[in-house]
Amino acid sequence: MRNKKKYILFLAIVLIAFMACNSESNNQVVQNNIDTVDLENNFEQATKIFYNLPSPPDVADLLLANSSVEFNLETLNKVGNIDLYESSAKQALNLGIYSTDFSFASLSGQDQIAINYLANSKKLAKKLGIVGVLGQDTIQWLARNFENKDSLMGIITLVYRRSEAYFNDNGKGDLALLMAIGGWTEGLFIATQLAEKMEFSVDIMDKIAEQRLSMDIILQIIESNLKEPNIIIYRDGFKKLNEKYLTYNKMLSDDLKDGGEISELTIAEFRSLAELVQGLRNQFTN
């Protein structure tokens, strides 16, 4: 049964990619296919570009490193919300968000749900003119490595990074930034929702604390793009989140010194942090 589900998921990916390629041909959209040699030679490099922010598969894999994590569809952005996103800025944000949701569902073994999120990602990519990053050679490489989780996440990462590169190369750097910010925020939102269900285990709380490094990168991105109206509107929200992060990380570190336990005060601070994350995420998805 498990192999059958994987086969169905693979067929869906092939179908979506085929539809994307046909759409591009009919509308004369510039293709940016990833050939097999490029995939194999640049796999490691692909994960290091674009400000070192974690890609959606990186975030999902981080969350699922703990075997006690249970999949919860309610934590993901609703598939039906896609019709809400009419501006290119909202489309880019939610391309990142749906990419994280796809990765999370896929790694959780939720194949049909993953197909739905992949289809949404494809729709947004088409609207943004970047569906060509998932070409035939990409599909063939995926077919040879489909049962390998690392390879599956690797191809998703590479397609995601190539989408960023396409935006940057075509004078749409703000959309690349929004896609990256959206994907990272969705991962952090899912993590904060999981923390409560995991009874604030040290493992998940510590992993969330580690994302403070990415928080620094996002603030640097925003501060270096103050002339971009689609970026600057989120500045205050991320600054508040960063301040809360600093307090939370210090309190968590103090709690865990010499093998201590997480205090109720730290949990209360974490809940305040989670509220800020949810507020930002709501801005992106509504």
Predicted local confidence at residue 57, as pLDDT: 64
Segments in the chain forming alpha helices (H)? 2-27, 36-41, 43-46, 56-64, 88-107, 111-128, 136-144, 149-169, 173-197, 202-210, 212-223, 229-232, 235-256, 264-285
Which domain does 105 fall in, by range?
2-285
Predicted local confidence at residue 109, as pLDDT: 79
pLDDT at 90 over 80: yes
Condensed to tens digits (0 to 9), the pLDDT of residues 225-257 reads 888 888 899 999 999 999 999 999 999 999 999
Rounded to whole angstroms, how far apart are CA atoms 167 and 170?
5
pLDDT at 15 over 60: no
Secondary structure letter of residue 50 according to DSSP: S
Looking at every residue in the chain, the average pLDDT score rounds to: 75
Predicted local confidence at residue 12, as pLDDT: 45
In the chain, the amino acid numbered 278 is Q
Please give the radius of gyration of the chain, using alpha carbons only, rounded to the nearest integer. 19
At 210, is the pLDDT very low, low, confident or very high (cuts 50, 70, 90)? confident
pLDDT at 39 over 60: no
Predicted local confidence at residue 44, as pLDDT: 38
pLDDT at 29 over 50: no
* Average of per-residue pLDDT across 107-136: 78
* Average of per-residue pLDDT across 199-212: 89
* Average of per-residue pLDDT across 84-111: 88
pLDDT at 20 over 70: no
Q: How many CA atoms lie within 13 A of 185 on its CB side?
A: 30
Q: What percent of the chain has pLDDT over 70?
A: 64
Least confident window among 14-23, 72-81, 221-230? 14-23
Predicted local confidence at residue 10, as pLDDT: 45
pLDDT at 37 over 70: no
pLDDT at 280 over 80: yes
Q: Which residue has the higher pLDDT, 71 or 135?
A: 71
Q: Which residue has the higher pLDDT, 21 or 79?
A: 79
Least confident window among 67-71, 88-92, 96-100? 67-71
Rounded to whole angstroms, how far apart are CA atoms 64 and 71?
9
Q: Is residue 218 a contact partner of residue 88, using CB atoms and an 8 Å limit?
A: no
* Average of per-residue pLDDT across 27-40: 39
Predicted local confidence at residue 153, as pLDDT: 62
Condensed to tens digits (0 to 9), the pLDDT of residues 159-196 reads 666 776 777 677 777 888 888 889 889 989 998 988 88
Predicted local confidence at residue 213, as pLDDT: 83
pLDDT at 284 over 90: yes
**Number of separate domains in the chain:** 1
Q: Is residue 188 a contact partner of residue 228, using CB atoms and an 8 Å limit?
A: no
Compute φ and ψ for 261, nearest 5 degrees.
Answer: -110, 160
